[in-house]
A = this chain, B = another copy of it.
């Protein structure tokens, strides 16, 4: 493989000149520049990013931590991150952590040992302590997730308000018996969305029945289905269900379909996230839309600014209630 020495020799110049042709072409005369370019071309030379990065200590690589790429919620965010990153001359590395601390560590080490310049974390299960410690020395931002202590910058929505809007929508449609399919309360967003639910119910003086509050360990389709199974078994059934993610809602909808329960006539359903699938179900799903692309692009910008040493501030973005057939 050709290196800069060979190019220099072939072109009859010094390595410094070759480097200049690569990085600062204006300062070298047209004549030598063409000579060098010729040599580069003939040797099929590609500068080694390793050598370059070692010297400049910049890899132009950003890590994006997410628990699982199979969760469609992340795809739009990633598009936003990627477009912005590329625009700024960075590439991104998608890191699936599977919520596994060992795997997280691999990626944390990549930034520690300079293979990457910063991290955008979207993993709600990531070890907060490790992340906070790391954030002291390295550029890190959080996207859609955040810590309550707030030492790490983030971009997110107002989960409580969004959940409040979803539930208020159901109440305004006349529902009084409303169930909540939530994820595990160890997640901040789960606690926040519960508070939104609670707020709406209290505001309209509706009772919250503990047996209608379901906290699922995971947020896969099956969990939503399982949750709905649990609800349907009860003597008194709710007339409306708010699921804190579309994936859960779609699982729940599946169970409703199986039991030939009409949606929204018998039971209305609201999801959260507005993933692509949510428009492919029958009926289509009413849901809360997060500005995912924007969240991604803002978080990428935040991180790049942090890398550049600029001061950055956390951002809360607007959400939107998307009313479709399921309510």
Contacts from A to B (Cβ < 8 Å):
46-54, 57, 59, 61, 68-70, 72, 75-76, 78-79, 82, 86, 91, 93-94, 96, 103, 106, 109-110, 112-115, 221, 250-251, 253-254, 257-258, 276-277, 279-282
Contacts of A113 in B (CB 8 A): 46-50, 52
Contacts of A82 in B (CB 8 A): 96
Contacts of A277 in B (CB 8 A): 221, 250, 277
A250–B51 alpha-carbon span in the complex (Å): 49
Contact B115 A103 (CB under 8 A): no
Contact A93 B94 (CB under 8 A): yes
Cβ of A71 to closest chain B Cβ, rounded Å: 9
Contacts of A49 in B (CB 8 A): 110, 113-115
Describe A's contact surface by its main secondary structure: helix
A76–B46 alpha-carbon span in the complex (Å): 34
A61–B94 alpha-carbon span in the complex (Å): 12
Contact A59 B69 (CB under 8 A): no
Contact B75 A70 (CB under 8 A): yes
Contact A282 B280 (CB under 8 A): no
Known A-B contacts A69-B78, A113-B49, A115-B49; the reply to A221 vs B106 at CB < 8 A is no
Contact A50 B54 (CB under 8 A): yes
